Amino acid sequence: MPLNKNTKIKTMNKKLLILVCLFCIGLCITAKSQDTMNNVQKMSYALGANNGEQFKNLGIEIDTEMFFKGLKDGMGGTREMTDEQMQAAFMLLDQTIKDNQQKILLEEKKKGQEYLAQNKLNAGVSETPSGLQYKVIVMGTGAKPTATDKVKVHYHGTLLDGTVFDSSVQRGEPITFPLNGVIRGWTEGLQLMPIGSKFIFYIPSDLAYGDRGTQGIKPGATLIFEVELLEINPVEE
């Protein structure tokens, strides 16, 4: 769900602490199918996958052999690096993240700008003054929501390369939320839709998750959503 929240990059110390806890729990877990995992293994795998995706999005390369050595040494009280050396390593890691984030941001913004410049020339695509682009798939005949209404929708969100990052359609269950509690592209776009409509929104990063991105979405990323408006429920005061 495209929530409008200020996502912050956690310090690497906290991320590594999470991973250390994870591997302490799941150190002896080998690859298993979902059906054979117990609850601890499921939690461990979920934490590992989640953090792995974050490291991937941050462009961080992890030497797993050295990670496990550090884990073993730390648990055994035989750490080979001094506090000063550890701090220097974390500072290097933080700078690497910043450099990678800036590189990713510039690349994603360039891709988004080029895509949107071409996309608005396509038949059926309209653009609002904010830069939001949309295409009508089905135009409904019901009322249109206001920014203070709650809406019930089905949606399917993808990156420019077609990667699905979130989809109520795939989950098989629509969602309901206040329209002023989501990303700006949704708040603006859904107000154009009568009930029963289905639109495709092409949302530039400044109307989505901006320069920070969020889980599974890189900084500066342009997003594509297919959205169907099912119901409007005015918020009770």
Among residues 19, 14, 11, 5, the alpha carbon closest in space to that of 215 is found at 5
Catalytic residue among 23, 199, 201, 225: 225
155 is a catalytic site residue: yes
Catalytic residue among 23, 134, 155, 201: 155
225 is a catalytic site residue: yes
**φ and ψ at 153, to 5 degrees?**
-140, 160
Q: Which residues pair with 125 in a beta bridge?
A: 135
CA distance 68 to 196: 54
67 is a catalytic site residue: no
Catalytic residue among 23, 149, 166, 199: 166
Catalytic residue among 55, 115, 165, 177: 165
Contact 220, 104 (CB under 8 A): yes
202 is a catalytic site residue: no
Token pair of 109 as six digits: 């913004």
Number of helices and strands in the chain (H, E): 6, 7
Can you tell me which residue has the tokens 């199918």?
33
Catalytic residue among 97, 104, 183, 217: 183
Distance of CA 186 to the CA centre of its chain: 15
Catalytic residue among 134, 199, 202, 209: 209
Contact 200, 137 (CB under 8 A): yes
Token pair of 77 as six digits: 């009280």
183 is a catalytic site residue: yes
**φ and ψ at 74, to 5 degrees?**
-65, -40
Distance of CA 236 to the CA centre of its chain: 30
- Strand ranges, E, within the chain: 125-127, 133-138, 149-158, 164-167, 175-178, 198-203, 223-234
User: Active-site residues: which are they?
Assistant: 155, 165-166, 183, 209, 225
